[in-house]
Chain A
Amino acid sequence: MNDMPQQPQRSRAAKWTRRGFIGAGVLAGGALVIGVGVRTGNPVGRLGPLVAGGEGEQLINSWLKIGADNIVTAIVPHCEMGQGVHSVLAQMLADELDADWSLVRVMQAPADGSYVVTDTIRTFVAPGTLDAPDWLEPTWNGLFTKIAQLADGLITGGSSSIRTTGQRTMRIAGAAARQMLIGAAAREWDVAAAEITTANSMLSHKPSGRSAPYSQFAAAAAEQDMPQTPQMKAPENYRLMGKDVPRIDIPDKVNGAASFGIDAVVPGQTLTYAAVRRVPVPGTRVAKMDAAQAKTMPGVLQILNMGDFLAVVADSYWQAQQALNAVTAEYTAPESTIRSSDDQFARFAAALDAAGDKGGEEVIGRGDVPTAMQAAAKTVSADYQVPYLAHAPLEPMNATVWARDGRCEIWTSTQVPLMARSAAAKALGLSKDDVTMHHPMLGGGFGRRLETDYVVMAARIGQATGYPVKMIWSREEDTQKGLFRCADMSRFTGGLDAQGRLTAYNNVFTQRNDPADACDCAFYDIPNKSIRVAEAELHLPFAAFRSVDHSQQAFFIESFIDEAAQAAGRDPLEFRLAMLGQSPRHKAVLEKAAAMAGWNAKPAAGHGRGIALTESFGTIVAEVVEVDMSSGKPRLTNVWCAADPGFAMNPDGFRNQMEGGIVFGLTAALYGEISLKDGAVEQSNFHDYKLMRMDECPAIAVEIINGDHVRLGGAGEPGLPPAAPALANAIFAATGKRIRALPLAKHFA
């Protein structure tokens, strides 16, 4: 982070399009810097709805720098949490720039808005246009609002980085810089720009035999006029995009050098450590604390009753946790009358009962469901339910804080560094300019680190101590006291005509977050549809979970479609294909997965195969899961996955994300359950909140279809949704037992 771009000595900015702009400047030492901004409302394909902020907002997403040493630095605003974003965004930029990949470096954009965003960008890229720094600090209005406010450039989620920042800024920055370098060389060499070629970070003019590294023209390039429409490469000219470029972050992840939030050091300072215990039931408070014994324990520095949590600060984390274990406390009575999981599901059932066939808030209404249902030759009905889930990233929640003299410095793993900074500032009564945020790599995010609760807790502890303190949650705290994927229940009735076609579809469920259309399998041609939400109280606080609503909706929908196929007496694959007449890309993906699995060949005795198709975050995914039920318990043998993300920028990285999403989805389907007892979470650690392990992991094959080079989909989340229904459908195929409540393994205990 020492190598931050300096304040440009000279700068210019120009309109690029009505909705975007590019700025360039030159740094001391002659380095060229390029910044790209996009205004909200940019109607680029499906991205339009994502950038729904106020007119006139200007979103600065990324930079590139070309140094005197000919090193190209991509300054990536997104956080690296295992999805490979640092590498792939640099890959996209370097391709448009015709950069030598071995001379490309990546820098994490800092969360210190006072430097990069507020001051530098305002004066450099868009002078006089960014008067209100608050445009950087959106409030929580759902995940998609956060993505829309990419402005921040500092939000990582929604499987969005490639298709937003990558497509709209990294590529533009690379292409613009290349054109400006060519322009500068053409002027110096007094030749036509069209005669200059670029490759491997070199400019060449073949007729005169001249060539020079980019660095030689970096300063002069900044004086060039901005390309109004930078020339982007057509797919046939991609050199790095679409290739398996090795990840830049991996070497440091095999030798212990990679630094995560929990590894933070405070330069020149001795750290202390805090162990914490939140109140067991959300919304309650600490009524009484007895810390007499803990106070006498070795290493203990301070014991804090913060009202909503207890903290012990000690010389080591282990001492802090030992002492915290000796602290006893009593808590106020909870307001919620939901005490058990049965209570929670009873609320859901009551909401669905009250909604009936027509009640609740309509999400999708098409055709005439009552008439079609009346006319149906056969109807099929089912209720499905899913429990709460904990995200359980392997790096527990943690943050390191040094608060003193009206300032606060924070080191933490977060998907939202600027929002975390604002939240901490608010909690401490500071201006956000007085809070400095360092955000190293994340030991898993999965949506949990879109929340800032743990950062605020650490900041409050730091304010109480005044000296540097690293707060670490125990795994038990992480499992029991955080925020959760919601539990939910969904009710379906389908009507089949005499030919066994699904002509009527009635669905109501209780939880709706993001994406707004997750509840609709719009690619299936179903003429009469009514999809509604009948809201019901949730006991535990919600946080977006990898794939968000798709994580439960895909299980509901694709289980029900399978039941409809069964009721129609049709093959589950054939039944689906027959509804995909208007959706050729979905059809191709489904056919591909089926072919990979050898769908038409009978599985071995005791085995069953299930199939599911989803579209989430712009990517179409079909999965076939094969399960061996011969022992009476599910043993997963194979997953075949076909996916169409439009275009996979890094196919190997995309496959890795699909593999990970599948394991995440199968883990949730088989084992995932956070249940309630006396209003508190029952599970505590990995012995009772089970995650899939090596010996349970099936073989996974992934094939990619590049179906649309313009409208790209995401990678991080779309592999997850089909996994649960494909597995449940496989268990049905093997056993005839239809399981409508997750987790699946519980039914075979």
Chain B
Amino acid sequence: MVKFTINGKAASVEADPAMPILWVVREKLGLTGTKFGCGVAQCGACTVHLDGQPVRSCSTPIAEAEGKAITTIEGVAGPDGELSKVQQAWVSEQVPQCGYCQSGQIMAATALLRDNPQPSDADIDTAMAGNICRCGTYVRIRAAIKVAAGLEPAKGAELRS
């Protein structure tokens, strides 16, 4: 039995201690916003926060979560579902295409902005280089991070002509 909190709620699961957090979260807790992309910490689609630090959940055993707090994409918005600044920027910049990598991108960007509220382009490169977007939305991810940081105005996702 491994005990931890998931998005602020206490949880305990029967699982092989070596089972990666990814599969516990997806299969045992039914939280499918965290994605499987590569299984070897190469693509970042599975990024979650463990005690606030971004980790690759596909390669982190659930035993490491004992007594700790796991936050997934489902736990990023406020209790009433209000989107975080990062999520809002992802909408205003119309970032996602297929969207499969974007949970991981948002988890990585959220951690970046918490530790470094006004990141430079080089900071963004360093923090985000572990997250692959096969659709190629990097230009918009960069813009959205700057919008969330207040460094650039939101383009605004409303009817524009």
* B-binding residues in A (CB < 8 A): 81-84, 101, 240, 242-247, 249-260, 262-263, 265, 271, 273, 298, 316-319, 321, 392-396, 441-446, 472, 474-475, 652-653, 656-657, 659-664, 667, 685-687, 691-695, 697, 699-700
Contact = CB atoms under 8 A, between A and B. Distances in A.
Interface string B33-74: 111111110110100000000000000000000000000111
Contact of B42 (A259, A661, A667, A685): A685
A257 B98 contact: no
A244 to B, nearest CB: 4
B35 A395 contact: yes
Contacts of A254: 83, 87, 90-91, 95-96, 102, 106
A263 B31 CA distance: 9
A258 B91 CA distance: 14
A686 B132 contact: yes
Contact of B99 (A258, A472, A667): A258
B91 A441 contact: no
A246 to B, nearest CB: 4
B9 to A, nearest CB: 15
B141 interface: yes
B132 A659 contact: no
B74 to A, nearest CB: 5
B138 A656 contact: no
Interface string B85-127: 0010011001111111111001000000000000000001110
Which 10 A-B pairs give the minimum distances between C-beta atoms? A256-B33, A663-B136, A443-B100, A82-B97, A82-B98, A253-B99, A695-B125, A256-B73, A697-B138, A263-B32
Contact of A656 (B39, B94, B130, B142): B94
Contacts of A318: 19-20, 23
B32 A259 contact: yes
A694 B96 contact: no
Interface of B: 16, 19-20, 23, 27, 30-40, 42-43, 45, 72-74, 76-77, 81, 83, 87, 90-91, 94-103, 106, 124-126, 128-142, 157-161
A605 to B, nearest CB: 22
Given A394-B134, A656-B140, 15 more contacts: A82-B96, A246-B94, A246-B157, A249-B96, A253-B90, A254-B83, A255-B77, A256-B73, A395-B35, A443-B99, A660-B136, A693-B131, A694-B125, A694-B128, A695-B126
Contacts of B87: 254-255
A254 to B, nearest CB: 4
9 contacts: A245-B159, A250-B90, A258-B99, A273-B27, A394-B133, A475-B39, A685-B40, A693-B138, A695-B126
B37 A396 contact: yes
Nearest to A251: B91
B94 A247 contact: yes
Q: Is the interface of B mostly helix, strand, loop or mixed?
A: loop
B25 to A, nearest CB: 10
A256 B26 CA distance: 11
A262 B36 contact: yes
Contacts of A441: 98-99
A660 B137 contact: yes
A260, A317, A445, A699 — which one has the most chain B CB atoms within 10 A of its CB? A317
A444 B40 CA distance: 20
Contacts of A394: 35, 37, 43, 45, 98, 100-101, 132-134
A659 B136 contact: yes
A663 B100 contact: no
Nearest to B101: A394
A257 B32 CA distance: 8
A739 B156 CA distance: 42
Contacts of B96: 82, 247, 249-250, 253-254
Contacts of A693: 128-132, 138
B94 A262 contact: no
Given A246-B158, A697-B138, A316 B23 contact: yes
Contacts of B161: 242-244
A263, A273, A687, A694 — which one has the most chain B CB atoms within 10 A of its CB? A694
Contacts of B134: 392-394, 444, 446, 664, 691
A29 to B, nearest CB: 30
B100 A298 contact: no
Contact of A255 (B76, B100, B133): B76
Nearest to A246: B157
B139 A246 contact: no
A475 B37 contact: yes
A251 B87 CA distance: 9
A444 B103 contact: no
Contacts of B19: 316, 318-319
A687 B135 contact: no
A273 B28 CA distance: 13
Contact of B139 (A101, A253, A699): A699
A86 to B, nearest CB: 12
B131 to A, nearest CB: 7
A339 to B, nearest CB: 27
A102 B32 CA distance: 29
B91 A656 contact: no
B1 to A, nearest CB: 16
A36 B30 CA distance: 40
A255 B140 contact: no
